[in-house]
Amino acid sequence: MLDHTPKECIERKAIVINPAKTCQPLGATYAALGIHNCLPHSHGSQGCQMYFRSHLSRHFREPVEASTSSFTEGSAVFGGGSNLKTAINNVFAIYNPDIMAIHTTCLSETIGDDIPTYIAEAKIPEGKFVIHANTPSYVGSHIVGFSNMTKGMVKYLSVNSNQPNGKLNIIPGFVNPGDMREIKRMLKSMGAEFIMFPDTSGVLDAPLTSNYNIFPEGGTRVEDIIDAGNSIATLALGSFASADSAFELKKKCKVPARTLLTPIGINATDDFLVAASRFTGKEVSMELEEERGQVIDIMADLHQHYHGKKVALFGDPDILIGLTAFLLELGMIPKYVLTGTPGEAFEKEVCPMLEEAGVDGKVKAAGDLFALHQWIKNEPVDLLMGTTYGKYIARAEDIPLVRVGFPIMDRGVHSYLPIVGYRGAMRLVEMISNTLLDRVDRDALDEDMELIM
Amino acid sequence: MKDKIIMKEELGKILDKYPAAAFKGRKGHTLIVDQCLAPQEMVADTRTIPGIITERGCTYAGCKGVVVGPLKDTIAITHGPIGCGYYSWLTRRNKARKNEGEDQNFLAYCFSTDMQEADIVFGGEKKLRAAITEVVEIFHPKTIMICATCPVGLIGDDINAVAVWAEKELGVQTIAFNCEGYKGVSQSAGHHIANNGLFKHIMGTGDAPKKEFSINILGEYNIGGDGWEIERLLKIIGYNIISIMSGDGTVERLRSAHKADLNLVQCHRSINYVAEMLREKHGTDWIKVNFLGIESTIQSLRDTAKYFNDPGLIERTEELIEAELLAIGPKMEKYIEICKGKTAALFVGGSRANHFQGLFKELGMETVLAGFEFAHRDDYEGREVIPTIKANADNKNIENLVVERDEKSYRLILSEERYAQLSKEMSLNYFAGMIKVMNDGTVVVDDINHYEMESFMKLLKPDVFGSGIKEKYVIHKMGTFSKQLHSYDYSGPFAGFKGAVIFARDIAMGLTTPAWKLIKPKWKTEPMLEGNYIEEVG
């Protein structure tokens, strides 16, 4: 497995090998799916949208419907305006969404297609919306694409109509529907009123009833995104995927913005609940406090199984920052933390966390899994945490893998269950300790097998 | 099957929902099979209508994803932003292993130049050259393939010049594929571009020793290990397999492809170009085979043996068929018991919607709808229509190699009489297309889209829908089982005799898994009389 990866690291400036990121439009598609009755639309070659749909479907095991401008060589030369106008006509005539969310691709960005002009010239049925985001694939990553599309929602839709709604805006970031549900559950438990956008719960974890609808029940209502301009404040969960949209809302509608870590682990969840409580005036519920106590209880009871273990982590920046914080809370050693998404901000945020904990680790933005593998070859770890792609390194180096993040394409159910909040923390402890214990069992001599651990 | 007149009316109703222009664009892509009207003409290989939720991919996907990608001993560098390389990394299940004497298998790796904004503005050739240099230093590949993505063509990066440079400066044969996604109308153009590149630069450069009964297996991608199963059967009979294009294939073996006596074509759509070019240049005949389904497998094995007309081969073929049938014994029966009388709809690629119909038939299931994502008219109607296919703006810009006969290697194995005889008995240098094998009143849809799929599901109510990942969960949400026939739902092999049993097991399992019966909660199916409850509680 991965036999051609040498231990010796050669500095690479050009080739990316085994990426830990993908392109912006995938994130834009995912964000757009978090609006109720929305059809994401990719302005580029049809292969792009085929790839996003397939990839998202493999992770969520759900239908992912999205349209495309289906560029030909002619449109690449003469511009995609006519394709987009045809597409807008067809989308509303055939699928009849409330809103169409257009993102660009490397193709349409390279030729400089002016989407706002095309939208202005298109025939949009009364009462329907068309929004767009520029998502050039040669900048950033899928996380930036998610951020840009969410920002597009604010730019096109949110309005401050001087009618304060008493609600708190939540931008959850590129997390699973299971996480979005958990964030909403926590807020509901406090009795706080909120608007979460985007919200893919009910869209990408919809039930099987045999009554198929191209637009499932879930997703943020367009009127709620409009009303987000009247909210008390915005909590952006995760600086990479959510902060820009919160600031856009502040700029456009004067809604105060606050960026927090993705609420993974104890302190980050505490911070989220404290902020939610302060802005809404609602107290953190006894139910949540009880859950918190349960997690602390579990951490005290199980620490001997994971404390001091070295971990290599890879994935998307907001989730990694949250996970790094939580691993430190667990007494584990986040030895390597690597994201494919570029941005110095990542290293600036994670390095001090490791320094403060006295961890001699490596942190890298714009990295790839080939580099991570080489680090592990040079100084091994006890556990790998990351996406499905990690299984090849895990096998090559014989280290256990905890699957977390996006995408997970070789296991099911993960997208329904949270890693955020105290419930998510509980789940992470279970996954980490079970994985390590399964390994202990696997490696134990017959005489060392333990009934009770 | 419903009456074909009723079916035609129903089809009309489905298409009527389209706006005028979209209606015009879609109407010729669907037909109700009516063998009285044969030959029925299909519209295929035309542009997808913008705004339609198409299931199609792009030229890059056809070139890098399908044909070039499975070659394990080469490094395929995707020149472009990160997405294209990333999405085509390990997603197609073209299995590969290091066989004896093979020291390189790069399939678990993804290589991309990850173009950034500056590369788009100032050109990406410099980065591509640096990427190739780094790859050569780290991996020492024997060959490198450069696969272009959309922006490469737009900004005018000359990847062919970079390939020439790499060969000269680094001593590694490098081939450039101008497979930008916007070219053509689907993956199909990418197959053609890949065929051209490999034919031009690789095939004919090798010198494998001459052995009797030498064949190439073309258009077999070893999804779920299909290729390995086919190879196992052919080797037992005594064929010398020179190369496989391209599942578990190597560039080094492909070099001697011209040495084969016969080419077996599994996927006609993606590989017929190479089969035809090998024939034109070296005289090698090809036969259309199908190793999916027991009857088709038997037929393919017999046709191949018959081509060589060697008593030993023919005898070993019959022995193998007997042994394989004996080995599977009655294993199919319990699955047939579950499947028989049920119906299937198939929407896959450019060949599989055809290949799997026989397999379903062996399970007692009729295929009520079949269609291809990126096929051409010949895949529907047979190769006889090729001369009548009109050139258009999209297919004209894909290079059609002009191949000349190589007098040194050109040889015809069959005498004129034997050729004429065999042409009547098998698909010799010929493919009959899909429509001819389908029953009256069944539906053929080219380039199906989400709306049409939903409509046909409601109309035909098939028990199984065989398709891909994008369609699978839509079908499941409707309460119907869907089997992925691209990735086999991570099962397989489905080819050959043993594969047929695995397929039968999978279909039976999918039809009978208890989940389908649990969809309706009890409170929606059982009377909920409040009075009873009060009584009990009281």
**φ, ψ for residue B29, nearest 5 deg:** -90, 0
- CA-to-CA separations, A316 to A197, A249, A365, A387, in angstroms, rounded: 19, 24, 10, 10
**Judging by DSSP bridges, how do beta strands A168-171 and A194-196 pair with one another?**
parallel
Mean pLDDT, all residues of chain B: 96
Q: What is the pLDDT of residues B471-526, one digit of tens each?
A: 999 999 999 999 999 999 999 999 999 999 999 999 999 999 999 999 999 999 88
Q: Which residues contact B21 (CB under 8 A, 6 or more apart)?
A: A86, B49
B470 and A91 within 8 Å at the Cβ level: the answer is no
User: Kind of pairing, strands A16-17 and B111-112?
Assistant: antiparallel
- The CATH homologous superfamily to which domain A289-448 belongs is Nitrogenase molybdenum iron protein domain (3.40.50.1980)
Report the alpha-carbon distance of residue B530 to residue B537 in Å, rounded. Answer: 11
For residue A310 the two structure tokens come to: 């070295």
3-state secondary structure of B203: coil
Residues of B in contact with A74 (CB under 8 A): 393
Question: For residue B243, what are its two tokens?
Answer: 């190369």
Q: ∠ at Cα B359 (B358, B360), nearest 5°?
A: 90
Whole-angstrom CA distances from A204 to A7, A50, A97, A184, B468 are: 40, 17, 17, 16, 18
Q: Do A57 and B472 touch (CB under 8 A)?
A: yes
pLDDT tens string B300-352: 999 999 999 999 999 999 999 999 999 999 999 999 999 999 999 999 998 99
Q: Is the pLDDT of residue B194 over 80?
A: yes
Q: Is B260 strand, coil or helix?
A: coil
Q: What is the ipTM of this complex?
A: 0.98
CB atoms < 10 A from the CB of A275, how many?
17
Report how far apart, in Å, the C-alpha atoms of B217 and of each of A233, B195, B254, B287 are: 64, 14, 10, 10
CB contact under 8 Å between B182 and A2, yes or no, is no
* B59/A47 touch (CB, cutoff 8 Å), yes or no: yes
pLDDT at residue A131 in the model: 98
Catalytic residue selected from B29, B44, B56, B61: B61
> pLDDT tier at B396 (50, 70, 90 boundaries)?
confident
Restricting to B residues 65-84, those with a Cβ less than 8 Å away from any Cβ of A are 77, 80-84
Q: Quick check: A357 contacting B, CB < 8 Å?
A: no
Distance (Å) from the C-alpha of residue A277 to the closest C-alpha of chain B? 38
Question: Span A168-285: which CATH code?
Answer: 3.40.50.1980
The strand pairing partners of A233, in sequence order, are: A168
Q: Number of CB pairs < 8 Å for A and B?
A: 251
**Distance from the A116 Cα atom to the nearest Cα atom in chain B, whole angstroms:** 17
Where are chain A's structural domains? 24-157, 168-285, 289-448
**A214 lies within 8 A of chain B by CB:** yes
Picking from A14, A21, A54, the nearest residue to B82 by CB comes out as A21
Cβ–Cβ < 8 Å for B63, B191: yes
Q: In chain A, what residues touch B469 (CB-CB under 8 Å)?
A: 54, 57-58
Q: Which residues contact B349 (CB under 8 A, 6 or more apart)?
A: B267, B269, B372, B373, B374, B375, B486
Q: Is B153 in the A-facing interface, judged by CB distances under 8 Å?
A: yes
pLDDT at B2: 64
Handedness of CA B87, B88, B93, B96 (dihedral sign): negative
Asked if B421 is an interface residue toward chain A (Cβ–Cβ < 8 A), one would say no
The architecture that CATH gives domain A24-157 is 3-Layer(aba) Sandwich (3.40)
Does the beta carbon of A10 lie under 8 angstroms from any beta carbon of chain B? yes
CB A410 within 8 A of CB A388: yes
Contacts of B535 (CB under 8 A, 6+ apart): none
Joined together, the tokens standing for residue A298 give 């579990």
A12: which 2 tokens? 């690479």
B22 to A93: CB separation less than 8 angstroms, yes or no: yes
B92 is catalytic: yes
Distance CA B486, CA B53 (A): 19
* B58 included as an active-site residue: yes
Is B110 among the residues known to form the active site? Answer: no
Please name the residue that has the structure tokens 């918190």. Answer: A292
Distance from C-alpha of B113 to C-alpha of B81, rounded to nearest angstrom: 7
3-state secondary structure of B30: strand
Distance from A379 to chain B by nearest Cα, in Å?
20
- Rounded (5°) CA angle A47-A180-A213: 55
Nearest neighbour of B473 by CB, restricted to A1, A13, A57: A57
- The domains of chain B, with CATH numbers, are 59-181 (3.40.50.1980), 214-332+384-425 (3.40.50.1980)
pLDDT band at residue B448 using 50, 70 and 90 as cut-offs: very high
Active-site pick, B191, B352, B376, B486: B191
In terms of C-beta density within 10 A (0-12 exposed, 13-18 middle, 19 or more buried), how is residue A151 classed?
buried
Q: Which residues, given as ranges, of chain A have pLDDT below 50?
A: none
* pLDDT exceeds cutoff 50 at B538: no
Using a CB-CB distance cutoff of 8 angstroms, which residues of chain A are in contact with residue B87?
22, 51, 54-55
Residue type, B122: F
**CB < 8 Å from A in window 462-501 of B:** 468-470, 472-474, 476-479
Min distance B212 CA to chain A CA atoms (Å): 35
H or E element: which one contains B297? helix B294-308
B109-126 tens-digit pLDDT? 999 999 999 999 999 999
Q: What is the mean pLDDT of residues B8-12?
A: 95
Please choose, from the candidates B129, B190, B143, B213, the residue with its C-alpha nearest in 3D space to the C-alpha of residue B171: B143
Q: What is the pLDDT of residues A89-140, one digit of tens each?
A: 999 999 999 999 999 999 999 999 999 999 999 999 999 999 999 999 999 9
With both helix axes pointing from N to C terminus, report the angle between A421-443 and A266-280 in degrees, rounded to the nearest 10.
170
Show Cβ contacts of residue A396 under 8 Å, excluding neighbours closer than 6 positions: A1, A2, A3, A5, A373
Please answer yes or no on whether A53 and B87 come within 8 Å at the CB atom: no
Q: Is B61 a catalytic residue?
A: yes
**Overall residue count recorded for chain B in this entry:** 538
Please name the member of A46, A89, A210 whose beta carbon is closest to the beta carbon of B58. Answer: A46
Out of A57, A110, A370, the one facing B154 most closely (by C-beta) is A110
Q: Which of A68, A88, A107 sits opposite B54 (nearest CB)?
A: A68
Q: Which of residues 13-52 of A touch B (CB under 8 A)?
A: 13-19, 21-23, 25-26, 41, 44-48, 50-51
Residue A290, pLDDT score: 98
- CB contacts, 8 Å: A84 with chain B: 50
Domains A168-285 and A289-448 fall in the same CATH topology = yes
Sheet holding B262-265, edge to edge: B240-246, B214-220, B262-265, B285-288
pLDDT of B64 higher than 70? yes
With beta carbons under 8 A apart, name residues in chain A contacting B77.
Answer: 15
The torsion of the CA quartet B240, B243, B244, B250, rounded to 10 degrees, works out to: 140
Q: What is the DSSP string of B502-523?
A: HHHHHHHHHHH-GGGGGSS-HH
Count Cβ atoms below 10 Å from residue B315 Cβ, excluding itself.
12
List the Cα angle B28/B32/B34 in 5-degree steps. Answer: 115
What integer pLDDT is reported at residue B257 of this predicted model?
98
